[in-house]
Amino acid sequence: MTTEPTAAELVAAGLERREARWLLEEFGADPARLAAAVARRQQGEPLQYIVGHWPFRGLDLDLDSRVLIPRPETEELVGVALEVLAACPVTAPTLLDLGCGSGAIGLALLSELAARGIRATLIAVDVSPGALAVARRNARKHALTSVSFLEGSWYEALDASLAGRIDLIVANPPYVGAAQYLDLDPVIAHEPRGALVAADARGVPGLADLVSVVEGAPHWLAAGGALVVEHGDGHREALRRVAYGAGLRDLVDHDDLAGKPRILVAHRP
Ligand SMILES: C[S@@+](CC[C@H](N)C(=O)[O-])C[C@H]1O[C@@H](n2cnc3c(N)ncnc32)[C@H](O)[C@@H]1O
């Protein structure tokens, strides 16, 4: 008879205690799957992909290596977006999630707005068909139906009739510069490079996708509508200039919980 390994044995095999507990809880009843999961973790694969799902605000999101693992600072972005929407008089807002990945931002917004009695409509865009497949699965998992998924680069997939009709654009585009990417924790290499790395723009590493998202926003936003975008530590000043130059106003900056510049809110007058 084989006995289930204990957390202490998994820690002795090189796992952190928290990870050991998580894997035991997930796969403890199936020794073969547990052994495979431990081997994957020992080879450096992120726990979230091995477990296959992870909490993001109120949602349990399915995840695999086709999507970025949603980050805690992106949970903060959802909180900021909800505050922005609360100050907006629209009763049934149209939301656009650019670079939706697993669907984390847009689906969390739909879900939390529904809990407040607000029926929003979400358009979720990604250039990656694999990411869209994961996002669709997450929408089905949480019975979030007022969402359409579009494949394409930033605003290119949108129907022209949506111009001037979006109440809120949310985005967490790639913003890591190519050189900075090489210095990151190797565990990052398990995530899609296209979800993380952006070209340089205006002499600023990793700014190019942020520029595309911000410069395109005024055309699609309704008057009074807002863009809420996550960015890297070194992007705040350059991005404020881009937003202002594009005609966006009422710019508000937010730091993340670690005190790093992270989120820009900008409005279409
Ligand atoms: C940093 S990830 C964010 C994923 C998700 N929104 C989140 O916060 O967890 C960036 C996402 O943008 C997508 N992406 C990259 N380039 C894009 C483009 N040109 N147009 C649309 N989406 C793009 C990637 O496939 C990836 O899913």
**Tens-place pLDDT, residues 211-238:** 999 999 999 999 999 999 999 999 999 9
What's the gap in Å between 94 CA and the centre of ligand 1?
20
Identify the segments of the chain with pLDDT beneath 50: 1
Q: What is the pLDDT of residue 134?
A: 98
Q: Which residues form the domain of 206?
A: 56-267
Q: Which atom of ligand 1 is nearest to the CA of 71?
A: 9
Same domain, 136 and 236: yes
CB neighbour burial string for 60-86, b if at least 16 within 10 angstroms, e if fewer: ebbbbebbbbbeebbbbbbebbbebbe
Is residue 51 situated within a structural domain?
Answer: no
Q: What is the pLDDT of residue 2?
A: 56
Residue 191 in contact with ligand 1 by CB distance below 6 A: no
* Total-model pTM: 0.96
Q: What is the pLDDT of residue 1?
A: 43
Q: Whose CA is nearest to atom 6 of ligand 1?
A: 100
Report CA-CA distances (Å) from 89 to 66, 84, 86, 93. Answer: 37, 10, 8, 9
Q: What is the pLDDT of residue 187?
A: 87
Report CA-CA distances (Å) from 262 to 47, 69, 100, 254. Answer: 25, 17, 18, 6
Q: What CATH number is given to the structural domain containing 102?
A: 3.40.50.150
Same domain, 37 and 60: no
Q: What is the pLDDT of residue 93?
A: 98
Specify the DSSP element, H or E, that contains 261: strand 261-267
Same domain, 36 and 146: no
Q: Which atom of ligand 1 is nearest to the CA of 106?
A: 6
What's the gap in Å between 27 CA and the centre of ligand 1?
30
